Structure 1
């Protein structure tokens, strides 16, 4: 047999010197390893200090396990590819193409690190607990879609990514090794058969993994989103799902065919196989479903989609905890008298005339005491004060070192001396002093008032961003009294106990050499970090989503922060999306002690999400909440807003009504200051059954209408979590908030008064309009504040109350109600004779002005309006 002439092959590939590269890589690896080791060990010490050391170990196990999984997948594919490329090139060139194994190691490490944050999906997959509710299409528990499917899809995606990178490396390696080949025909002639087999196997793997991904993705139709419904519709179930099954099978068949044809060097047929596969896929999964939707379903949409609309309604209500809403008919009666008002004293006494924004400004001006203290927010809670069930506005007085003078912001001050805030400020929601300011029941430093605090120090809060070291040789600033400062030494068990080695480690972590050099720090000192309460709980339990508005409470003399924790899921079957999630529950309440930083997770409503976490992290969640803690949990406003939004549409359980959107509700709007805003849910005290209880409520109006149609309540006390809808009679006109706002705008006396106030160097602030159900009737209340331009202290100058056609403003809620229900205020007698001369007119003006100012000071707005009209008459203006 005649031997072919040997072409002038290029010299064998010689890689550049790799010692320097390996040395640099080694330095980087060691540095990264040391940094990670220090971070994880110091983090473990902190977890152990708060009693969650085992939780950290569990996280580490799953994190490392997931890292190894991703690394192993990429390393296996890349190593196999490199070995195959070397074997193929060795067979033809006589010397293997030298591809450094550092390449596969680097790519695998990069992939594993970049995917590291997804380790949580492995935890949910392994510990998946069932919801006990199956989807109506495939008959699988909802847990498959929320906990298992995401992980399976991710693993297939990782395999596919590794296969794509592997075949890409192989192709580029072969192109480089045979770069001297001038044509594809010549390449086919000289390229070894083993090389074609290698490429064929890669194509088979790629198309097989693509087929697996298509197969498993077909389950996702149950949480697809449409304009009409959430979840799979007629076309998805009957056309798209079978089409995806067909495409998946074709992908496997195409992979086998393509691999065989590549091994046989029949690339023309490979092209036809791929084109045919793509064409059938587009036809089956895109064109046919679109045609059926447009030509068959849309002309008779309700008949085709009614079954799936019913699924969407029921599963959406379940996903947002609305499946057991109690429906009650509100027997509206326009008749309400002052006796009814007095019988509802517990409700009237707790009508919130102080909005959180104005009272926050008051608290800041009057109770921050020093420049370094800051009141971040004001919250609502309830307490027993002098035997009365009383709603309070409460705020924590936190310390922010950023507010210290710039020269005082030294390391010693920020980390060892100014370590904590001090005390709580509290005022009843309906108590007003003679000056128009809130009456305090807890105030000043040290705290004084009706609520006793044993430990007023606040080491953990919403503003505590930096670490501090306590129990040092340097005493901590405790609180100021007059010109004198008091100092203290921490006596709790919060924080990580330090020794010299731990000081070195934390110094490395925080890049702060002072932790080592400071002579004040001893072996008895404690380092407090993760002091921001949201960051703190998120570090311990990163799987839950936390409410943006923690609130403070005093329980057994201790200050606690209470945070609502939510389970959010984005793949629940047949449920409507809000944002990117379509499932939301509030199963957990978190209590953080402001002094020692202890964190407790209490279950108030167990769902599959929390059951999964309980299985993965035994002992973390507590099912029995102490009675004193129960008295201070409240239904979360953010969750209630979302439930109200969902229920405004999904209360229509009749499919035809839902399809036609016959009875869509909306949360009404109101005026606040100069803006028109949505009514925020608000806490009130109402007698739902036999006794007054703390509830969260919001009114509803019909879509694009202003009259009120219903109101929704969430109970916060003994029957915590129960939801009730009160629907008004269809034929009755019940004023909505904006209609009441319009009536206030149109009231002649109030309009004049507001204009006068706004022109006198002050600004009128209209607070939140509250709709208060009372004895089968409705009372509307809106507080009016006055804020001077030269000060930021708002003063409550009146309360507007509205019932039926009666609208009055009094200095307090009771004054306004007395005016409405028949208790007459003192009326100034009209003058017996009309003034004629200029001197007489001037005398009357002085008299009326004096009485006007006295009435304003006393909050007697009826007399104020009368005097204003009298002044207008004397000046020649007709009464408006």
Structure 2
């Protein structure tokens, strides 16, 4: 028994493990059996109508997508975890500070099985999700050309119908692959000490920094490709204007330049992430990530919204005229109602036939009754009674009491007496007298 076995996680008894494995197997069987029944039913139905080869093609495409996506996702996850495990730091932390020691010891018992199990399970789930897009793959493989080009970029219409959805599918799964690989490497480095976020001694080892910034740089680089493809999606997607489908004034004059700006910013940010492999300064990729996030909000969201609300909405008929004409022309071409099949005649708005004379036996309509305005007689009104005389208020009642006239010989207090401008105050007179007496 090794010294670390007492620190590992407790193991389940053999009976509990067998029961858990049997439960998981039964659940998987139920999920797979339902799909197998549907596959067999479709096989019989296509055989009855004589198109079993079509079902073989569908089944082969879905199985191929499942295998490819599962292998790619599982391979990327296993590679990320293996690199993090291979270049883990060998410096051990004290047991009082290493809270992940029991989990690390449990994984170190069978690291290969843990890596293959986690990568395989996530890969199978992603494969089941990705196989539902088999129609996109078949359209890309068997697509063609329409012989018509769009008025904005000059590409054939078949590019938007057959090729562009497949390119976007590939870019989406590349982003998913890189993101899952980043998370797998981050978790493995954290488990084995390459990433420390404990208080007092946070840090990132050199192998962990290189691996994480490479995954982040690849993610931003693929995001730049997604920005480039978003330019073409503007013509095939729904416009902000509800009256027609396709690109409008805001899409062409605001969103399209914004996508080009974001494409250039994403390339610069990807280079900043890759530079952290050589330059040991994580502030450069942090600033690049902040710049990309801020520019995506301002350039990709705020600017098109401002153009739509301030420039397009007040004068929508004039701004959207060219793009509505494009939509009408595309609709006529799609439904086959162009000038070669439809004859357009101007309508002057004046009738060409004389009015039909009325027959003598026709009974004229009765004239409507004239309704006189009814007004009810006004009742006789008598003049209002005179208002009652108001009683005079008591002289001593209320705050406004009647004041008696002052007697002319009544002496007022000294603080209410009026003084002439030339009079001298009493205090000054008394002070003057005291000064004269002291001087004499």
SS at match of 1:136: coil
Quote the Cα distance in structure 1 between the aligned partners of 2:37 and 2:294. Answer: 55
Q: What CA distance in whole angstroms lies between the structure 2 residues aligned with 1:10 and 1:732?
A: 102
Partner of 1:201: 214
Match of 1:112 in 2: 127
Does structure 1 residue 277 correspond to structure 2 residue 277? Answer: no
Give the CA deviation at 1:128.
0.8
CA gap 1:260/1:23 in 2 versus in 1, 3 angstroms: farther
Q: Provide, for residues 492-514 of structure 1, a one-character-per-residue CA deviation record: whole Å limited to 9, x for no partner.
A: xxxxxxxxxxxxxxxxxxxxxxx
Tell me what 1:159 maps to: 174
Q: What is the aligned partner in structure 1 of residue 331 from structure 2?
A: 316
Structure 1: tracts of 5 or more residues without a match: 1-8, 330-726, 734-775, 778-803, 807-819, 823-880
Q: Aligned residue for 2:364?
A: none
Counterpart position of 1:730: 349
Post-superposition Cα deviations, 1:586-626, rounded to whole Å, max 9, x if no partner, equal xxxxxxxxxxxxxxxxxxxxxxxxxxxxxxxxxxxxxxxxx
The aligned counterpart of 1:359 is none
Corresponding residue for residue 62 of structure 1: 61
Residues 748-777 of structure 1 deviation map (CA, whole Å, 9 limit, x = unaligned): xxxxxxxxxxxxxxxxxxxxxxxxxxxx99
Shift of 1:91: 5.0
**Paired residues of 1:262 and 1:270 also in contact (CA < 8 A):** no
The Cα offsets for residues 83-118 of structure 1, whole Å up to 9 and x where unpaired, read as 122223365569876444212211111122123322
Alignment deviations for residues 811-856 of structure 1 (CA, whole Å, 9 cap, x no partner): xxxxxxxxx9x9xxxxxxxxxxxxxxxxxxxxxxxxxxxxxxxxxx
Q: Structure 2 vs 1, CA of residues 210 and 12 (structure 1 numbering), >3 Å: closer, same or farther? A: farther
Alignment of 1:156-235 (within 5 A): 156-178=171-193, 181=196, 183=198, 186-188=201-203, 191-223=204-236, 224-225=238-239, 226-227=241-242, 229-235=244-250
**1:144/1:22 CA distance change after superposition, 3 Å:** farther
- 3-state secondary structure, aligned to 2:271: helix
Equivalent pairs, count: 337
Alignment partners' CA distance in 1, 2:88 and 2:274 = 20
The partner residue of 2:255 within 220, 240, 260 is 240
Q: Check conservation: 2:88, 2:194, Cα contact below 8 A.
A: no
Structure that is richer in strand per residue = 1
Structure 1 CA distance for aligned equivalents of residues 242 and 34 of structure 2: 50
Describe the superposition over 1:615-656 as per-residue Cα deviations: whole angstroms up to 9, x where unpaired: xxxxxxxxxxxxxxxxxxxxxxxxxxxxxxxxxxxxxxxxxx
> Is the partner of 2:146 in helix, strand or coil?
coil
Write the distance in 2 (CA, Å) between the matches of 1:311 and 1:118. Answer: 31
Larger Rg: 2
Q: Is the 8 A contact 1:128 1:143 kept in 2?
A: yes
Alpha carbons of structure 1 residues 732 and 174: separation in structure 2 relative to 1, 3 Å: farther
Q: Which has the higher helix share?
A: 2
SS in 2 for 1:89: coil
CA 1:46–1:181 in 2, change beyond 3 Å: closer, same or farther? closer
Whole-angstrom CA distance in 1 between matches of 2:221 and 2:5: 37
What secondary structure, in the 3-state scheme, does the structure 2 residue paired with 1:115 have?
helix
Distance 1:43 1:235 in 2: 46
Q: Tell me the CA shift for residue 46 of structure 1.
A: 3.1
Find the counterpart in structure 2 of residue 620 from structure 1: none
**Structure 1 CA distance, aligned partners of 2:11 and 2:336?**
64
After TM superposition, the structure 1 = structure 2 runs for residues 292-303 of structure 1, keeping only pairs within 5 Å, are 292-293=307-308
Quickly say closer, same or farther: Cα 1:29–1:248, change in 2 above 3 A: same
Does the Cα contact within 8 Å between 2:214 and 2:273 map onto a contact in 1?
no
Once residues 10 and 275 of structure 2 are traced to their aligned partners in structure 1, the CA distance between those partners, rounded to angstroms, is 34
Cα distance per residue 1:208-242 (max 9 Å; x no partner)? 22212111111111133114653223443244323
Superposition deviation, residue 193 in structure 1: 0.9
Counterparts of 1:608-757 in structure 2, within 5 Å, are 730-732=349-351
Contact 2:76/2:181 (8 A) holds in 1? yes
Partner of 1:125: 140
Kindly indicate whether the alpha-carbon contact (under 8 Å) linking 2:272 and 2:284 is maintained by their aligned counterparts in 1: no
Deviation at 1:184, TM superposition (A): 6.5
The separation in 2 between residues aligned to 1:31 and 1:306, in whole angstroms, is: 57
Q: CA deviation at 1:254?
A: 0.7
For residues 540-559 of structure 1, the C-alpha deviation after alignment (integer angstroms, 9 at most, x for no partner) is: xxxxxxxxxxxxxxxxxxxx
For 1:167 and 1:182, how far apart are their aligned partners in 2?
17
Check conservation: 2:78, 2:115, Cα contact below 8 A: no
Question: Residues 200 and 263 of structure 1 are in contact (CA less than 8 Å); yes or no, is this contact kept in structure 2?
Answer: no
Q: Which runs of 5+ in 2 are unaligned?
A: 93-103, 362-440
Q: Hey, what's the Cα distance between the residues in 1 that align with 2:141 and 2:265?
A: 31
Asked if the contact 2:244/2:324 (under 8 Å) is kept, the reply is yes
Q: Is the 8 A contact 1:193 1:263 kept in 2?
A: no
Cα separation, partners in 2 of 1:14 and 1:214, compared to 1, 3 Å:
farther
Change (3 A) 1:206 1:805: farther
What is the CA–CA distance in structure 2 between the aligned matches of 1:291 and 1:274, rounded to whole Å?
A: 25
Please state whether the residue corresponding to 2:147 is helix, strand or coil: coil
Partner of 1:251: 266
- Indicate if the aligned counterparts of 1:92 and 1:192 stay in contact, CA closer than 8 A: no
2:342 is the counterpart of 1:326: yes
Query: Given the superposition, is the C-alpha separation of residues 43 and 237 from structure 1 closer, same or farther in structure 2, using an over 3 Å criterion?
Result: closer
Whether the 8 Å contact between 1:207 and 1:254 is mirrored in structure 2 is yes
The alpha-carbon distance between structure 1 residues 133 and 179, as it changes in their structure 2 partners (threshold 3 A), is: closer
Give the match for residue 87 of structure 2: 88
| Structure 1 residues 275 and 15: alpha-carbon distance in aligned structure 2, compared to 1, 3 A threshold | farther
CA–CA distance in structure 1, aligned partners of residues 303 and 34 of structure 2 = 56
Structure-2 residue corresponding to 1:146: 161
CA distance in 2: counterparts of 1:35 and 1:304, whole angstroms: 54
| Aligned residue number for residue 430 of structure 2 | none
Give SS of 1:122's match.
helix
TM-score (norm 2): 0.64
The separation in 1 between residues aligned to 2:190 and 2:6, in whole angstroms, is: 16
* Structure-1 residue corresponding to 2:76: 77
Q: Return the alpha-carbon distance in structure 2 between the equivalents of residues 14 and 233 of structure 1.
A: 61
Cα distance change of structure 1 residues 313 and 15 upon mapping to structure 2, 3 Å threshold? farther
User: Compared with structure 1, are the counterparts of its residues 228 and 174 closer, same or farther at alpha carbon in structure 2 (3 Å cutoff)?
Assistant: same
Q: What CA distance in whole angstroms lies between the structure 2 residues aligned with 1:139 and 1:153?
A: 19
Change (3 A) 1:134 1:11: farther
Superposed CA deviations along residues 778-821 of structure 1, whole A, max 9, x for unmatched, are xxxxxxxxxxxxxxxxxxxxxxxxxx899xxxxxxxxxxxxx9x
Going from structure 1 to structure 2, the CA distance change for 1:39 and 1:274 (only over 3 Å counts) comes to closer
